[in-house]
Amino acid sequence: MRPGDLAQETWSALSANKGRSALTILGIVIGIGAVITMTSIIGGISNSMAGMFGANAARVLTINLHGISNFTLDDVAELAKNIPDVEYTMPKAQIQHEATYEKTKVQATIHGEVNKVFEAHGYKLLQGSGFTEEDEKRGSREIILDQYSVRNLFGNTDAAVVGKSLKIGNDEYMIIGVADKVNTFSMTQYDSQSIEGIVPITTAITRLTGNPNITSIEAMTSATSDADAVAAQTKEYLSRRYKLQDSKEEGATRTVSVESNKQLMQQVTSMTSSFQAIMVTVSGISLLVGGIGIMNMMLTNVTERIREIGLRKALGAKRFDITSQFILESICLCLTGGFIGVVLGLLGSFALCGIVGAGLAAAVTGSADPVLPVIDPGAILNAVLTCVITGLIFGWYPARRAAKLDPVESLNHQ
Amino acid sequence: MAGPKYVLEVENVHRIYESAAGYTHAIRGVTLRVPRGEFLCIMGPSGSGKSTLMNILGGLDRPTAGVYKLEGVSTSELDDDELAELRARRLGFVFQRYNLLPRATVLRNVMMPLIYTNVPVAERELRAYKALRVVGLPEEYYDHRSNELSGGQMQRVAIARALVNDPALILADEPTGALDSATSELVMELFAKLSEQGKTIVVITHDPDTSSWGDRTVHIRDGRLFTEEEERALIEAAMRSGADINARRGHT
Ligand SMILES: Nc1ncnc2c1ncn2[C@@H]1O[C@H](COP(=O)(O)OP(=O)(O)OP(=O)(O)O)[C@@H](O)[C@H]1O
Ligand SMILES: [Mg+2]
């Protein structure tokens, strides 16, 4: 039997039973639809999370020093020079301070940063500019706020604020830019009494903390290196250079921890993959139910078409011809269900994200950009393959039953 | 085509059915030879074993004992798929109840045997048209679904289907069983015409009018074959003794 003939026989058999076929594939449609919807949304959520941490998040090391009192910016610079796989370092300082604009008083979280932090964490400037290296060295009194801080101080996030001054402590700081965010997690969106901003690191330690000791540093590793390996290298270097103790040692006071964000990113991945595991289970169950439905229909088909099977055998159909005809029918049923499921699933994910995408984003990542579903070709391919396999498995038994029928008995079947 | 003189050779064939009710000895030592080109009728009352014999001749069933050779090949030595191949290439079946696929067109029904022998698509239609012209079905019906036809038309389509693979043997089990006498006449005329063209045909029937169309008739009773002379002698003997021949035939 030629493939073309097989396809034609399958088509005419299935189209003769449209209503029943449609009902039978409902289970498959729902199963595949649910999987595609959920994978698209979960893909969207993990995209949002990756967005929150920045595209380079996996490359960033977080270094925390404990019990050291004289680690300065020069030491930070030296660190970058000594570890070739560290592209640049980002010393950090953080201060809580009261800030006033005209009559409005708010609680300000001020981050002392280097300008590279925008690139490293993917903060986007919405107005104005970041500070220059010159500003960094000079310790200029300039600040970059996040968009919600602008809202909290000036009424709305779009207010033109570049050039305006803000009083922090005894100094006036000029707002030179507005970014979408200035910190990975920020409360300014929810707490209208707070603002958050970035000032040059030198400004922070000379004017706000008055303490040149740096205890928190981030390091950007080169794209080609393994962040974990560089973390170990950095820890080793710092421990040796500053005679630090192992944090596991009892009574250790001078210690350092170097964490790569790889682990953080892995947590995100493991969360999404446990979501995926749940989905696979749910879809597995629904495909099983759907598959049994298909098998049931195929068995009914075989029983109804016993005379036809007998006739085909009398006219020369071999066992393989009969088997492949019924298996192909079953696979086609499953595939049709799968295609409808994929289409409905994609539509469903866009619809769901349209309705709850913003809330989901706020809940999961604290970002205002709604979660957008991700169309994952791999998931679609998987769905299609699963349908083929389901059709094969659940079509097998009915098809074999048809192929084993005795031609004489089937021809005489009433 | 050359080949053995006899299209089919049946040597002391038995067929015993095994069922929950016990054993049924349906064919009891049948020997029969059909030379190429013969139009043979096998006649017998209900339950005499006609269909059983026909299934064996058609390679749908194998004898319990004895040898059945179709064109010199013993069917007992073939497996199911080889038998299927043999049916596809060398046999044409005509059934009492037509056995057409109702949802398929006349043309697709006629072409059906050809899909199992991988005949190229282009050639199939040519062959189907040729067969349909032989049975004389008007061309306007070729695109009709087969369930839109009359019984006589359906049987002609079925005969065209039996011809389409140019078989060595056409087997018909009660081909007129579902038709009125005028239509039956037309169908038998068609078989006679095919026979004139050199086809080997075996028609099974319980109707003497039908069997009169054949070159030769053999009688089957209780799973045994009798020639016309044997049958006549048997009937005369029965009449002399006053016995009821129908009782022996198992008629009800
Ligand atoms: N599958 C079977 N299992 C058991 N017994 C069977 C089977 N098929 C036929 N028989 C028996 O074999 C005998 C011959 O049956 P067969 O069908 O060959 O008769 P027939 O001559 O074709 O009759 P009819 O003219 O009614 O079609 C009958 O007694 C029947 O009951
Ligand atoms: Mg019969």
- Contact list, A308 vs chain B (CB under 8 Å): 101
In this prediction, residue A336 carries a pLDDT of: 92
In this prediction, residue B252 carries a pLDDT of: 40
Contact (CB, 8 A) for A371 and A360: yes
Please indicate whether residue A287 or residue A362 has the higher confidence score (pLDDT): A287
Sheet holding B91-94, edge to edge: B91-94, B169-173, B201-205, B39-43, B216-221, B224-226
Q: Give the CA distances from residue A291 to residues A34, A301, A329, A390, B149, in Å, rounded to whole numbers and listed in that order.
A: 16, 15, 13, 6, 39
Is residue A266 very low, low, confident or very high in pLDDT (cuts 50, 70, 90)? confident
In this prediction, residue A226 carries a pLDDT of: 86
Of A9, A12, A408, the CB nearest to B61: A408
Ligand 2 centroid–CA B51 distance in Å is 4
Q: For A318, which residue in chain B has the nearest alpha carbon?
A: B81
Q: What is the dihedral of CA A130, A134, A139, A144, to 10 degrees?
A: 0
Mean pLDDT of A56-65: 86
- Cα–Cα dist B203/A225, whole Å: 86
Highest-confidence segment of A211-220, A242-251, A320-329: A320-329
- Cα–Cα dist A78/B36, whole Å: 105
pTM: 0.73
In this prediction, residue B46 carries a pLDDT of: 92
Query: Which of A411, A324, A320, A311 has the alpha carbon at shortest distance from B80?
Result: A320
Is A317's CB within 8 Å of B84's CB? Answer: yes
Closest ligand 1 atom to residue B49 Cα is 18
| Pick from A33-47, A165-179, A324-338: least confident | A33-47
Contact (CB, 8 A) for A195 and A108: yes
How many Å is the Cα radius of gyration of chain A? 32
For residue A374, the one-letter residue type is V
As a three-state string, the secondary structure of B7-31 is: EEEEEEEEEEEEECCEEEEEEEEEE
Query: Which of A195, A242, A188 has the alpha carbon at shortest distance from A217?
Result: A242
- Cα–Cα dist B7/B170, whole Å: 11
Is some CB atom of chain A closer than 8 A to the CB atom of B55?
A: yes
B78-110 pLDDT tens trace = 999 999 999 999 999 999 889 999 889 999 999
Mean pLDDT of A242-258: 82
For residue B60, the one-letter residue type is L
Ligand 1 centroid–CA A305 distance in Å is 23
Is some CB atom of chain B closer than 8 A to the CB atom of A92?
A: no
- Cα–Cα dist B212/B192, whole Å: 11
| Pick from A206-215, A366-375, B71-80: least confident | A366-375
In this prediction, residue A177 carries a pLDDT of: 93
In this prediction, residue B245 carries a pLDDT of: 56
* Helices A261-304 + A319-364 axis angle, to 10: 140
Closest ligand 1 atom to residue B54 Cα is 18
Question: Would you say residue A296 has pLDDT above 80?
Answer: yes
**How many Cα atoms occupy the beta-carbon half-sphere of A10 within 13 Å?**
22
Residue linked to tokens 């190429």: B36
For residue B118, the one-letter residue type is N
Q: What is the distance in angstroms between the Cα of B202 and the nearest Cα belonging to chain A?
A: 16
Ligand 1 centroid–CA B47 distance in Å is 5
Q: What are phi and psi of B59, to 5 degrees?
A: 70, 20
* Helices B121-135 + B151-163 axis angle, to 10: 130
Strand, helix or coil for residue A116: helix
In this prediction, residue B103 carries a pLDDT of: 85
Q: Give the CA distances from residue A281 to residues A30, A274, A390, in Å, rounded to whole numbers and listed in that order.
A: 14, 11, 15
Strand, helix or coil for residue A30: helix
Contact (CB, 8 A) for B153 and B109: no
Per residue of chain B (252 residues), give pLDDT as tens.
456 789 999 999 999 999 898 999 999 999 999 999 999 999 999 999 999 999 999 999 999 999 999 999 999 999 999 999 999 999 999 998 899 998 899 999 999 999 999 899 899 999 999 999 999 999 999 999 999 999 999 999 999 999 999 999 999 999 998 889 899 999 999 999 999 999 999 999 998 989 999 999 999 999 999 988 888 888 888 888 876 655 555 444
Is residue A365 very low, low, confident or very high in pLDDT (cuts 50, 70, 90)? low
Mean pLDDT of A119-131: 87
CA A412 to chain centre: 61
Residue linked to tokens 């010393």: A91
Domain residue spans of chain B = 36-49+91-249
In this prediction, residue A357 carries a pLDDT of: 73
The conformation of residue B105, written as its DSSP 8-state character, comes to B
The two counts, helices (H) then strands (E), for chain A are 14, 10
Is A5's CB within 8 Å of B115's CB? Answer: yes
Question: Would you say residue A23 has pLDDT above 50?
Answer: yes
Strand, helix or coil for residue B32: strand
In this prediction, residue A123 carries a pLDDT of: 87
Q: State the pairing for strand pair B73-74/A125-128.
A: unpaired
Q: What are phi and psi of A219, to 5 degrees?
A: -130, 135
Ligand lying closest to the C-alpha of residue B55 = 1
Is some CB atom of chain A closer than 8 A to the CB atom of B19?
A: no
Q: What is the distance in angstroms between the Cα of A404 and the nearest Cα belonging to chain B?
A: 10
CA A168 to chain centre: 38
Q: What are phi and psi of A133, to 5 degrees?
A: -60, -35
**How many Cα atoms occupy the beta-carbon half-sphere of A378 within 13 Å?**
3
Cβ < 6 A, ligand 1 pocket:
B 17, 19, 24, 26, 44, 46-52, 206
Is residue A243 very low, low, confident or very high in pLDDT (cuts 50, 70, 90)? confident
Residue linked to tokens 């619809």: A351
Average pLDDT, chain B: 90
Ligand 2 centroid–CA B43 distance in Å is 11
- Contact list, B165 vs chain A (CB under 8 Å): 316
In this prediction, residue B188 carries a pLDDT of: 93
State what percent of residues in chain A have pLDDT above 70.
Answer: 96
- Cα–Cα dist B121/A139, whole Å: 86
> Is the ipTM above a cut-off of 0.85?
yes
Of B87, B103, B115, the CB nearest to A16: B103
End-to-end CA distance of chain A: 27
Which residue has the CA at smallest separation from atom 2 of ligand 1? B17
Give, as residue ranges, everything with CB less than 5 Å from ion ligand 2. B 51
Ligand 1 centroid–CA B216 distance in Å is 24
Q: Where are the alpha helices (DSSP H) in chain B?
A: 50-57, 80-90, 106-115, 121-135, 151-163, 181-196, 208-211, 228-241, 245-249
**How many Cα atoms occupy the beta-carbon half-sphere of A65 within 13 Å?**
25
Domain residue spans of chain A = 3-53+265-411, 69-214
| Pick from A32-36, A370-374, A407-411: least confident | A370-374
- Contact list, B70 vs chain A (CB under 8 Å): none
Of A1, A5, A308, the CB nearest to B101: A308
Query: Which of A209, A211, A175 has the alpha carbon at shortest distance from A195?
Result: A175
Interface A–B counts its CB contacts (< 8 A) at: 62
Long-range contacts of residues A282-285, Cβ cutoff 8 Å, at least 24 apart: A282/A34, A282/A35, A283/A31, A283/A32, A283/A34, A283/A35, A283/A386, A285/A31
Q: Which helix (H) or strand (E) holds A315?
A: none
Tokens of B233: 């002698």
Backbone CA torsion sign across A353, A357, A360, A361: positive
B152-183 pLDDT tens trace = 999 999 999 999 999 999 999 999 988 898 99
Where does B36-49+91-249 sit in CATH, by number? 3.40.50.300
Query: Which of A313, A322, A400, A325 has the alpha carbon at shortest distance from A12?
Result: A325
Closest ligand 1 atom to residue B48 Cα is 21
Query: Which of A379, A397, A410, A333 has the alpha carbon at shortest distance from A28?
Result: A333
Contact (CB, 8 A) for A374 and A43: yes
Give the residue from A309, A315, A328 with the most B CB atoms within 10 Å of its CB, the best one to mutate: A315
Maximum Cα–Cα distance across chain A: 104
In this prediction, residue B251 carries a pLDDT of: 45
